[in-house]
Amino acid sequence: MKKIVIVGAVGGGATVAGQIRFYDPDAHIVVFDRDSTMSYAACGTPYVIGGVIEDERSIIMTDPEKFKKKRDVNVKLQHEVLEIDREGKKVHVQNLVTGEQFQESYDTLILSPGGSAVMPDVEGIESSKVFTLRNYEDMQRIDQFIKTQQPKNAIVSGGGFIGLEMAENLKHLGLDVTLVHKSPTIMSILDTDISLLIEKELALQGVKLLTGTTIEKTEGKTIKLGNGIDLQADFIIMSIGLKPNTELAEKAELNIGETGGIQTNEFMQTNDPSIYAIGDASENSDMVTGDPKRVPLASPAHRQAFIVAQHLTGNKLAKKGLLGTSVLKVFSLTAAMTGLNERSIKDKNLQSATVTHTGNSNAGYYPDHAQITLKVHYNPETRKILGAQCIGGKGVDKRIDVIVTAIYAGLTVDDLQALELCYAPPYSSPKDPINMIGYKAITK
């Protein structure tokens, strides 16, 4: 009987355990996680804080007892794996409640340790109320603070996914919100013109935005910025980045790649073939360029879990790479992207051309329609699509999903005009924005 030990019981870890059990009914599977909650939807935590999701327990998919009963998988929460003995094929584990330490043997080890929120070195930070949002317990702490202390204003530091989602949800609660971001524009994975549309939406919704600066010092509720501005805030949400949890892998002398993640091959194996790495802490390759890439999002983690389960049960299904497809709700806007943006294209010195189309999400005469802007980068010689971004009121996600499929299938930008997409007035137009990109590219 094969014994599989998994480190991490959230997205990637819980999924790979379930997937392996589906394909191998006889494997002995043990999962360790240092948190007190498993298999929760981390992406839902800002919406619990904002009161959009009323029952916080609804984002927990299962617990150790249910998982054992349904999947016959042993999950041990509040247990931290301290060390990997690669030669002896054992992990050294500590029970964080009792302090007891023990060893657990494995035939296969799967690392899904996730990442930790980056906390900057800020003078006086201990004098202020500061939170990060990385796990279920973080969510509960923020939620409890807001409900018991009834703060009036907040600063969100960092204009990425979590920062923007928290700004929206805190505003939804009626707080006065200021968003502080180090770079000149927010959402650095987007092109500047798309980011500026999000900034406009933030202003319309009453979120104050200060870019090109950071929190330099705090004195209780007085927050001093690097640009000389002083702000007042009852609390701060720090969301400036995510650091992959690679300490365990580093101690075991597993290779760490240039993105800071654990290097893996197309089957998610590390340089030790009996050890796999998935999720936020794993480094894969870019589907467009082949360069190292790390995407700390839920969808890649679930896909990686499937690949590992397939590989362990005899089906060598290789991963083709990552596109970094993502979508974000910011009040009335939706923004989505896939593949390379303008900055990465320039950094990699790639040949490129761009087609942009602004039009309606569906028939303009239909009452429920919105404006969307679709922007596609492509190689002008091969015509292959390098990346795309879309922003607007509705129908944004489905356009990017089509582009993702086109990239995966190897279609050219010119092929987009030929796609026979769904049309009815509530949903699209006879010439969908996707088709219009193809027509414009051929003309160009």
The answer to whether the beta carbons of residues 238 and 132 sit under 8 Å apart is yes
DSSP state of 100: -
Q: How far apart are CA 387 and CA 401, in angstroms?
A: 12
The helix/strand/coil state of 441 is helix
Q: Which residue intervals of 240-291 are DSSP H helices?
A: 247-251
Instruction: Report CA-CA distances (Å) from 9 to 64, 110, 236.
Output: 10, 11, 28
The answer to whether the beta carbons of residues 260 and 253 sit under 8 Å apart is no
Q: How far apart are CA 81 and CA 335, in angstroms?
A: 38
Give the pair of three-digit tokens for residue 288.
Answer: 């467009």
User: Which of the residues 2, 3, 28, 43 is marked catalytic?
Assistant: 43
Q: What share of the chain is helix, strand, coil (3-state, %, to 5)?
A: 30, 30, 40
Active site residue 390: no
Q: Which residue has the tokens 């923004």?
A: 335
The helix/strand/coil state of 302 is helix
DSSP characters over 20-40: HHHH-TT-EEEEEESSS--SB
The answer to whether the beta carbons of residues 376 and 437 sit under 8 Å apart is yes
The answer to whether the beta carbons of residues 186 and 157 sit under 8 Å apart is no
Residues that are catalytic: 43
